[in-house]
Structure 1
């Protein structure tokens, strides 16, 4: 072993050995189930490191909150009371409309959509580059998190859970090259798909026919197809359309509605299909 990696070993030999070992690991990861177990175990082992690395940020946040002046707090309190009054007024209208909607559904013999289970989670770490865009959150299988869960923020869809540990999980952002979301155009209900291109501020609509009715500024929302992302959540806004009749499809780009470059608090959603399957088990 000392001779192999000592000074006498050539750089070419080291490169060949490294490539062979990498190939064995990739093949083993693809065709065996043990690799997934190992990744989950390693993720569980390093979970405390994410919490430890997040301590300085939490301390700075706590310090800044305690340094706010009394005047600022009073102003914010006054603003919140004003907003609360406005929201209460809207809530009264909502309750009236909800009652009217219930009566209409009763006449049509229709049922409302069931409430989706959800929990709030915090981002612990960000891993973003051209080839992989992921974040680590502080919820795991101890919180009933499962792979494939939809993740949103206060503006729209963020991505989905791809790896679960005991107390942390990895979320694949919607802008990752391997991520895709079935969507529809809010204006006319035309269905299409949004794919990531490796940029936090841009996604792409693949294979868009020149005849598709799509315009600049159109808002895309989740269509609900695939039973992963609930229907109606904001996804992206059309920002660029290139139509070249010499090519079979138009190039259409959009900007994610969720602010992926500054996410901190996220919401995990459980689909109705997942809950039904868990009950059957």
Structure 2
């Protein structure tokens, strides 16, 4: 019988031969580079296996990178949103400051036109009664404000001071039904009286003859006849001219050129021709005029 296993060299001999062969290959590769071609061929052959083996690690690093990027992006997005909110809030403040600066520049421009002592005041409150056109400003007798003092905005005449205290004053607007102001047509010098119409926030020009030369669009300015308002300041612009058979005078309605419902700052004027009215004197109209012939 043949044996099942053929005995060959011993295990020790095989190990010694393998070591010697390995040493020989190492010397031949190091000194003569005979195995470079073999190594390159083996690298090409095993590259797919290396690539497949490295895929889990690459996927893990990629997933970790995506998670880190997402967390960083979310953090950066939150920071940018907070910064954007702060900047928007500051922008709103800057817009308000810019608008206020423009209003103050307009008022200062008016003060240069006046050419006399002026004071800028801020409107604190508005009388909500539709039949009383009054506002309260933050300047009083401590600032030299007096009863009867003219009040302007950047566009035109607004009214006059009727009450004062140490820290604030009440201003009667030209549209109040109890206010009347002598004016003249800037185009032809026609003199008349502009009386307030109350809730409509309009003015009626009184006692204008039917043959008078006045038409829509004419600018009415202060005439200075009351020795209270400086002459030549815009008051209103004629809106409608109507002939009423039952009225001996022409019915003329004018619209104030001052921004009565939008101004936040006003200009108090000291004219060299004005004498302050003592605080004890009761408030008076700019002109004591009889009631208009037309309807208000």
Instruction: Give TM-score scaled by structure 1 length.
Output: 0.58
**In 1, are the aligned partners of 2:196 and 2:202 still within 8 Å (CA)?**
yes
1:161 alignment partner in structure 2: 161
Deviates more, 1:253-262 or 1:113-122: 113-122
Q: Deviations over 1:229-259 (max 9, x none)?
A: 1011110010111112443111110000001
What are the residue-to-residue correspondences of 1:130-279 with 2, within 5 Å? 130-199=130-199, 201-274=201-274
What are the residue-to-residue correspondences of 1:68-147 with 2, within 5 Å? 68=91, 115-147=115-147
Aligned-residue offset at 1:272: 1.3
**In 2, are the aligned partners of 1:141 and 1:166 still within 8 Å (CA)?**
yes
Instruction: Give TM-score scaled by structure 2 length.
Output: 0.55
1:60 alignment partner in structure 2: none
Instruction: Tell which structure's C-alpha radius of gyration is larger.
Output: 2
Q: Structure 1's 222 and 67: CA in aligned 2 closer, same or farther, altered over 3 A?
A: same
Count the aligned residue pairs: 179
**In 1, are the aligned partners of 2:125 and 2:135 still within 8 Å (CA)?**
yes
- What do you get for the CA RMSD once the two structures are aligned? 3.0
Unaligned segments of structure 2, at least 5 residues: 1-85, 106-112, 279-296
**In 2, are the aligned partners of 1:125 and 1:137 still within 8 Å (CA)?**
yes
**After the TM superposition, which segments of 4 or more aligned residues of structure 1 sit over 6 Å from their partners?**
none
* 3-state secondary structure, aligned to 1:118: strand
Q: Structure 1's 114 and 151: CA in aligned 2 closer, same or farther, altered over 3 A?
A: closer
Q: Hey, what's the Cα distance between the residues in 2 that align with 1:200 and 1:160?
A: 19
